[in-house]
């Protein structure tokens, strides 16, 4: 029935194939950088680049978690609201603990610990409902998205939760300072990205994620504990949301019901632009990193030029997302 080209014994060559699928996100990134340079001489300055990357690092760290969730055939819509809740709770914990620890790093570390713990617990909650409860990931995380969003509004009593000013002063350098001129958020983003890429490519967990997303039955018949691997992806997502929040809180020192709005969609968009398949089975962390930076650069370039209204930012991002999927869709079998 299927007439195939003459087959020769399998050879283990050509691990790198430079087709459009692989280089797409990088090519788009390069084009955007070129465009930026042509449009404004300030584009390539240290300040502009670090600014874009630092702002992108929140979404970036979250999107790396989303890469694992999506690769394993899942979805987490709750990350934006989860970020808001974690930020709110962190601020409240730090404010409460000032009488215990005084103003200083003790309070901040306690707040960070609370944040990471909460992120992990939220991930466990999502993951348990999806794996043990056998409910669609879309439904579960749509539900928790609403729950988290309303929780932060409740905790802030409809207003804003603000970190004690003195603590905020101590905490502020975590966002604004850096090491050897590289702001900490960018450093953390880079570390998470490298670790994520290694985990995806070089560990059994990463391989199992792709296997489950590709075909859950095959994974089950290949002795993979499908539920556990899925659960871990959601926990990882929760913890990475918390890590992003640790860097976000010192930036503004406050949280409200508008914190993290639409982050989930930006994160998913970055994952898709990066070439990860939305229905699972194939994921690449470096692609997600490129995707996040592409989304960040679009806004930045629109702000740096005067021909097109920056209000069209969302429209350009939308076009890029659709183009990315269009270019990466599988060719019809001939």
Nearer CB in complex with other proteins: 219/247: 219
The span from the CA of 269 to the CA of 188, in Å, is 21
Nearer CB in complex with other proteins: 14/309: 14
Closest separation between CB of residue 214 and other proteins, Å?
4
Closest separation between CB of residue 21 and other proteins, Å?
12
- Least Cα distance to 163 among 256, 65, 287 occurs for 256
- For position 334 contacting other proteins by CB under 8 A, the verdict is no
Question: Quick one: which segment of 4-12, 42-50, 175-183, 303-311 binds other proteins (CB under 8 A)?
Answer: 4-12
- The binder of other proteins chosen from 195, 218, 278, 315 (CB under 8 A): 218
Is 217 in a helix, a strand, or coil?
helix
- The binder of other proteins chosen from 83, 163, 224, 269 (CB under 8 A): 224
- For position 10 contacting other proteins by CB under 8 A, the verdict is yes
- The binder of other proteins chosen from 20, 99, 133, 217 (CB under 8 A): 217
For other proteins, the binding residues in 267-286 under the rule CB under 8 A are 281-282
The span from the CA of 125 to the CA of 67, in Å, is 19
For other proteins, the binding residues in 177-206 under the rule CB under 8 A are 198, 201-204
- The binder of other proteins chosen from 55, 172, 220, 251 (CB under 8 A): 220
- For position 331 contacting other proteins by CB under 8 A, the verdict is no
- Least Cα distance to 239 among 188, 301, 297 occurs for 188
Q: One symbol per residue from 78 to 117: x for binding other proteins (CB under 8 A), - otherwise; what is it? A: ----------------------------------------
- For position 215 contacting other proteins by CB under 8 A, the verdict is yes
Helix pair angle (204-214, 184-202), 10° resolution = 70
Nearer CB in complex with other proteins: 71/256: 71
Q: In terms of DSSP bridges, do strands 160-162 and 254-256 run parallel, antiparallel, or are they unpaired?
A: antiparallel
Contact 254/181 with Cβ under 8 angstroms? no
Contact 141/247 with Cβ under 8 angstroms? no
- The binder of other proteins chosen from 17, 134, 331, 332 (CB under 8 A): 17
The span from the CA of 126 to the CA of 231, in Å, is 8
The maximal CA–CA distance of the chain, rounded, in angstroms, is 77
Nearer CB in complex with other proteins: 38/225: 225
Closest separation between CB of residue 207 and other proteins, Å?
6
- The binder of other proteins chosen from 55, 172, 207, 251 (CB under 8 A): 207
The span from the CA of 79 to the CA of 262, in Å, is 9
- DSSP secondary structure letter of residue 278: T
Cβ neighbors of 228 (< 8 A, separation 6 or more) are: 131
Q: In terms of DSSP bridges, do strands 178-179 and 160-162 run parallel, antiparallel, or are they unpaired?
A: unpaired
Nearer CB in complex with other proteins: 11/100: 11
- For position 20 contacting other proteins by CB under 8 A, the verdict is no
Nearer CB in complex with other proteins: 1/20: 1
DSSP secondary structure string for all residues of 141-159: HHHHHHHHHHHHHHHTTTS
Contact 324/24 with Cβ under 8 angstroms? yes
In the complex, the residues that contact other proteins under the rule CB under 8 A are: 1-5, 7-15, 17, 198, 201-204, 207-208, 210-211, 214-215, 217-225, 281-282
């Amino acid at each position: 029935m299927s007439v195939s080209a003459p087959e020769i014994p399998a050879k283990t060559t050509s691990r790198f194939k430079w087709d459009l699928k692989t280089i797409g996100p990088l090519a788009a990134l390069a084009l955007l950088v070129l465009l930026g340079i042509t449009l404004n001489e300030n584009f390539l300055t240290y300040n502009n680049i670090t600014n874009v990357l630092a702002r992108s690092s929140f979404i970036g760290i979250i999107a790396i978690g989303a890469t694992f969730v999506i690769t394993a055939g899942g979805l987490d819509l709750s990350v934006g609201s989860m970020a808001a809740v974690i930020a709110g709770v962190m601020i409240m914990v730090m404010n409460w603990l000032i009488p215990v620890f005084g103003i200083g790093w003790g309070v901040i570390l306690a707040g960070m610990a609370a944040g990471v713990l909460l992120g992990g617990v939220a991930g466990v909650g999502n993951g348990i409902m999806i794996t043990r409860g056998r409910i669609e990931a879309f439904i579960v995380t749509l539900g928790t998205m609403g729950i988290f969003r309303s929780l932060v509004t409740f905790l802030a009593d409809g207003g804003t939760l603000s970190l004690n000013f003195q603590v905020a002063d101590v905490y502020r350098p975590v966002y604004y300072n850096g090491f050897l001129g590289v702001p900490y958020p960018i450093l953390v983003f880079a570390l998470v990205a490298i670790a994520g890429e290694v985990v995806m490519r070089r560990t059994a967990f990463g391989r199992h994620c792709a296997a489950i997303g590709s075909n859950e039955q095959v994974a089950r018949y290949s002795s993979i504990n499908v539920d556990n691997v899925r659960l871990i992806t959601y926990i990882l997502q929760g913890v990475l949301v918390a890590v992003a929040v640790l860097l976000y809180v010192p930036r503004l020192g406050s949280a409200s019901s508008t914190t993290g709005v639409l982050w989930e969609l930006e994160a998913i968009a970055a994952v898709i632009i990066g070439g990860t398949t939305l229905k699972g089975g194939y994921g690449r962390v470096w692609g997600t990193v490129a995707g996040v930076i592409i989304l960040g650069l679009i806004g930045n370039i629109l702000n740096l030029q005067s021909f097109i209204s920056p209000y069209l930012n969302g429209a350009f991002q939308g076009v890029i997302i659709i183009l990315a999927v269009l270019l990466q869709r599988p060719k019809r079998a001939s």
